């Protein structure tokens, strides 16, 4: 044996050992669930395979935790598991620490101290440094730091354990409504946070911030609405950096630890459907963009804008998946961003350049006075869309002749020119719609195969704008002034009293029969439930004017007493704007089912190496339609999936309240379980004492008429 041969043999053996060690390290990284969506790359993937295709039908309930605080908003929590302890957030936005094997409660923390909670929450963030172990989470306007072992506040963090998220944005914090529904992400000793802000006039800006995990001090800030001298400032009106809002990261983010890059998806600038003078004309960077930031400094490395000058509420709804794809014979690290309108943008992780061709295509233009919509929008050529993006008469429902006739009539009444139809004063159809395509559950990604799994919605919404007078101080009657303020700040969700009934939010026509004036004012000050934000930007006088208006309308929405203003003063001070007359009305048939042809909810497998669809199946079932002979339609769904090395995709999400396991190669349903309420959440999986568990929040919520529960259920195989 020659020396050269021996050297070559040794080098080859060394390479094999190094690769094997790297593979083990990569696999080990996927065996835990210590981070929201499984890991910092948002893969929602687990290399655990004790539960697999061959035995998943034997799954049984291992434990159930009842939090005792069910509410309409439900829990969207994706539990994490660290050192034998599961950490989750409940419907009442308490933090609970549970024994991972038994579900026994170790401690709970209630930030609201028994009062009505505000908004929703998708989970917590874990950080450790030596013997210091902390849980971070947000509730209301505050970011809290808790001792992971006891649930006690870490008093040296911020102000006695909490940081006010309204501070540090460069505006008066008293006038801002700011919170966070998705967990932040840890980079070394930095906790990087997005936010949830309002979606109307006067909303807070959605700047990205990093906090010191030990002290709570803000370490850096990235302005999503650029300040003078910053990149992108020219894409807004001159004063937008001081006045415009939104452009926030509410969906969570992903982190490349080795590159020390954080990838941040952003939402639309506010207001959603009309960009007034505060926003100005332009593309509005960094709205609806994937941002790649230096995790140490917050400096922009690159960005890719997916929607220009958003007029459709097409927020980027989920953290991007950090993926590796085969391209031109090479393995390329990339970022895969799913969208509400059914696209997947696959971008080079280093540069942000699309890995598949993207065309800028002309889209319909707004005819609203003062609005200047962007002339084109980007259309990736691959991967192919995972929802229908164009509706014609042939795409309307076929579940019965009556439903089809009703849908055809409704369709002819609507303004519709495709998925980028801008809202007008007439009722306008959005499809796929503001609820997806994809939504906040996002996608799961199998790094072994390069396949992305995404659940999707396929039903539309309708909207309309209304020309209204800017509220004038010369208006004599508080009720008249209140009507003007209501149209600008409230009608987008609740519609005008007596107008078309909203389908996603309650009508306020008879609010006076349910609440006192004081209670309504308190709701406006603090917010309520899962979706109602606070309105601190409104003065006490403006809030009282809205209340006066709501309490003065009759059962048809007409004001009983209007009062009058000085005609001369009114004319001199008259100026107009546009606001939402009604919004988020689901496009439904006469029975309340989607007016489009099924499927209405789907589970999809997409090969990111080829950009091709591997399979698509309905997700969810209306049993009453199946009994009529209608093929399985799928249902609206909210929540995400996880994929495992056991060959399975687990997902709740569907409105039929079932938890399912799909074969990840074929899309066949291998197991399903009837939950006590909808699992509008992403499940988690972990292993402890040699036993694999899958856990999901089954609390319902988020929609009217949905069952409520307080249950978190863990499943495992029977103990031999």
- Higher-confidence residue of 336 and 482: namely 336
The mean pLDDT value of the chain amounts to 89
Token pair for 459: 């039903």
Q: How far apart are CA 472 and CA 327, in angstroms?
A: 59
Extents of the domains making up the chain: 45-389+432-458+599-716, 471-574
Residue-level pLDDT at 563: 46
The 3-state DSSP composition of the chain as helix, strand, coil percent (nearest 5) reads: 15, 35, 50
Q: How far apart are CA 160 and CA 402, in angstroms?
A: 62
Was domain 45-389+432-458+599-716 assigned CATH 3.30.43.10? no
| pTM of model > 0.95 | no
SS3 183: coil
Q: Give the model confidence (pLDDT) of 428-440 as tens digits.
A: 999 998 887 999 9
Token pair for 88: 């989750």
Spell out the residues 6+ positions from residue 571 whose beta carbon is closer than 8 angstroms to its own.
none
Which class is 471-574 in CATH?
Answer: mainly alpha
Q: Which of 68-72, 102-106, 501-505 has the highest mean pLDDT?
A: 102-106
- Higher-confidence residue of 520 and 682: namely 682
Q: Which of 372, 414, 420, 381 is nearest to 396 (CA)?
A: 414
- Average pLDDT, integer, range 217-235: 98
Q: What backbone phi and psi angles, to 5 degrees, belong to 45?
A: -120, 145
Work out the number of other CB atoms within 10 angstroms of the CB of residue 31.
14
Range scoring the smallest mean pLDDT among 255-264, 389-398, 548-557: 548-557
Range scoring the smallest mean pLDDT among 135-149, 486-500, 697-711: 486-500
Q: Give the model confidence (pLDDT) of 42-85 as tens digits.
A: 999 999 999 999 999 999 999 999 999 988 889 999 999 999 99
């Amino acid at each position: 044996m020659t020396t050269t041969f021996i050297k070559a043999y040794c080098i080859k053996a060394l390479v094999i050992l190094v690769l094997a060690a790297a593979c083990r390290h990569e696999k080990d990284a996927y065996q835990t669930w210590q981070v929201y969506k499984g890991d910092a790359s948002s893969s929602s993937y687990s290399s655990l395979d004790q539960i697999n295709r061959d035995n998943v039908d034997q799954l049984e309930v291992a434990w159930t935790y009842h939090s005792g605080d069910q509410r309409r908003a439900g829990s969207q929590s994706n539990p994490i598991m660290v050192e034998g302890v599961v950490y989750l957030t409940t419907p009442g936005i308490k933090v609970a620490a549970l024994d991972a094997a038994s579900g026994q409660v170790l401690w709970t923390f209630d930030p609201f101290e028994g009062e009505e909670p505000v908004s929703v929450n998708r989970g917590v963030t874990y950080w450790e440094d030596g013997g210091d172990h902390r849980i971070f989470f947000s509730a209301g306007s505050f970011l809290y730091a808790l001792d992971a072992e006891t649930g006690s506040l870490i008093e040296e963090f911020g102000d006695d354990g909490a940081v006010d998220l309204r501070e540090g944005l460069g505006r008066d914090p008293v006038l801002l409504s700011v919170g966070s529904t998705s967990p932040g992400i840890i980079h070394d000793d930095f906790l990087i946070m997005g936010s949830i802000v309002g979606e109307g006039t006067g909303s807070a800006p959605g700047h990205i911030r990093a906090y010191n995990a030990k002290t709570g001090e803000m370490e850096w800030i990235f302005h999503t609405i650029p300040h003078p001298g910053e990149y992108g400032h020219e894409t807004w009106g001159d004063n937008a950096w001081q006045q415009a809002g939104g452009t926030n990261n509410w969906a969570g983010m992903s982190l490349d630890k080795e590159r020390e890059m954080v990838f941040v998806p952003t939402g639309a600038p506010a207001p959603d459907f009309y960009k007034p003078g505060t926003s100005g004309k332009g593309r509005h960077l960094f709205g609806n963009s994937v941002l790649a930031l230096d995790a140490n400094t917050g400096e922009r490395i690159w960005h890719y804008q997916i929607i220009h000058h958003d007029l459709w509420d097409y927020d980027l709804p989920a953290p991007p998946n950090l993926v590796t794809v085969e391209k031109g014979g090479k393995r390329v690290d990339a970022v895969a961003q799913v969208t509400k309108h059914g696209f997947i943008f696959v971008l080079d992780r280093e540069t942000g350049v699309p890995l598949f061709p993207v065309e800028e295509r002309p889209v319909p233009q707004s005819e609203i006075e003062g609005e200047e919509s962007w002339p084109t929008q980007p259309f990736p050529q691959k991967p192919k869309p995972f929802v229908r993006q164009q509706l014609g008469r042939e795409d309307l429902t076929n579940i019965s002749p009556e439903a089809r006739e009703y849908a055809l009539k409704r369709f002819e009444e609507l303004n519709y020119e495709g998925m980028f139809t801008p809202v007008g004063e007439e009722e306008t159809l959005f499809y796929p719609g503001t609820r997806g395509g994809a939504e906040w559950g996002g996608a799961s990604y199998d790094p072994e195969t390069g396949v992305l799994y995404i659940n999707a919605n396929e039903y539309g919404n309708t909207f309309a704008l209304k020309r209204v007078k800017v509220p004038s101080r010369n208006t004599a009657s508080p009720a008249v002034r209140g009507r003007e303020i209501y149209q600008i700040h409230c009608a987008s969700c609740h519609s005008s009293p007596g107008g078309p009934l909203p389908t996603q939010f309650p009508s306020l026509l008879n609010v006076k029969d349910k609440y006192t004036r004081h209670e309504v004012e308190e709701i406006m000050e603090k917010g309520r439930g899962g979706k109602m934000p606070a309105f601190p930007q409104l003065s006490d006088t403006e809030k009282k004017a809205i209340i006066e208006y709501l309490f003065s309308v009759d059962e048809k929405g007409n004001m009983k007493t209007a009062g009058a203003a000085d005609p001369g003063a009114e004319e001199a001070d008259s100026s107009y704007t546009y606001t939402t007359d009604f919004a988020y009305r689901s496009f439904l048939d006469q029975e309340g089912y989607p007016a489009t042809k099924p499927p209405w909810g789907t589970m999809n497998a997409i090969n990111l190496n080829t950009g091709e669809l591997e399979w698509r199946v309905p997700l969810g079932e209306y049993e009453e339609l199946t009994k009529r002979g209608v093929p399985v339609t799928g249902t609206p769904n909210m929540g995400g999936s996880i994929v495992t090395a056991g060959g399975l995709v687990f997902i709740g999400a569907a409105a039929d309240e079932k938890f399912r396991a799909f074969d990840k190669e074929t899309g066949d349903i291998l197991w399903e379980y009837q939950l006590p309420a909808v699992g509008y959440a992403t499940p988690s999986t972990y292993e402890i004492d040699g036993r694999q568990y899958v856990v999901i929040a089954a609390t319902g919520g988020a929609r009217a008429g949905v069952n409520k529960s307080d249950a978190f259920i863990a499943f495992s195989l029977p103990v031999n």
